[in-house]
């Protein structure tokens, strides 16, 4: 017994219908679930990136402040050297100011390093 064209057409239709139903009931819900999870993870990653950007901006600001402090220390040391050369009475006072400023800047630098996870 051989299959007629109508039989072949019916069999193809039954297979297509079965596969389509299987996709609709099994595969598509999994894709929907994965899409929802992906959207959730993407949102979470975006929040994490925004938080990290805020942290980076904060560190940049603190680093710029420390850079300015170092420039000021350099100017103070230059003034101290000039005063030392002139043997002025203000040398000890200038030295104390420089030391105080260096210690304050050192504390800021250590706090920034600790907050950033850097070991000095």
How many whole angstroms separate alpha carbon 104 and alpha carbon 97? 11
Tell me the longest C-alpha to C-alpha distance in the chain. 122
- What string of pLDDT tens digits covers the 120 residues of the chain? 688 989 889 999 999 999 999 899 999 999 999 999 999 999 999 988 988 888 888 888 888 988 998 898 888 888 777 776 666 666 777 778 888 888 888 888 888 888 878 777
Instruction: Indicate the pTM of the whole model.
Output: 0.48
């Amino acid at each position: 017994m051989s299959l007629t064209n109508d039989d072949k057409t019916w069999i193809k239709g039954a297979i297509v219908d079965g596969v389509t139903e299987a996709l609709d009931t099994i595969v598509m819900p999994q894709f929907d679930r994965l899409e929802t999870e992906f959207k959730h993870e993407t949102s979470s990653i975006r929040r994490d990136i925004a938080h990290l950007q805020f942290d980076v901006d904060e560190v940049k600001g603190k680093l710029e402040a420390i850079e300015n402090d170092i420039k000021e220390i350099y100017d103070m040391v230059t003034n101290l050297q000039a005063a030392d050369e002139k043997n002025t009475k203000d040398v000890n006072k200038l030295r104390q100011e420089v030391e105080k400023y260096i210690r304050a800047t050192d504390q800021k630098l250590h706090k920034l390093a600790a907050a950033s996870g850097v070991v000095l």
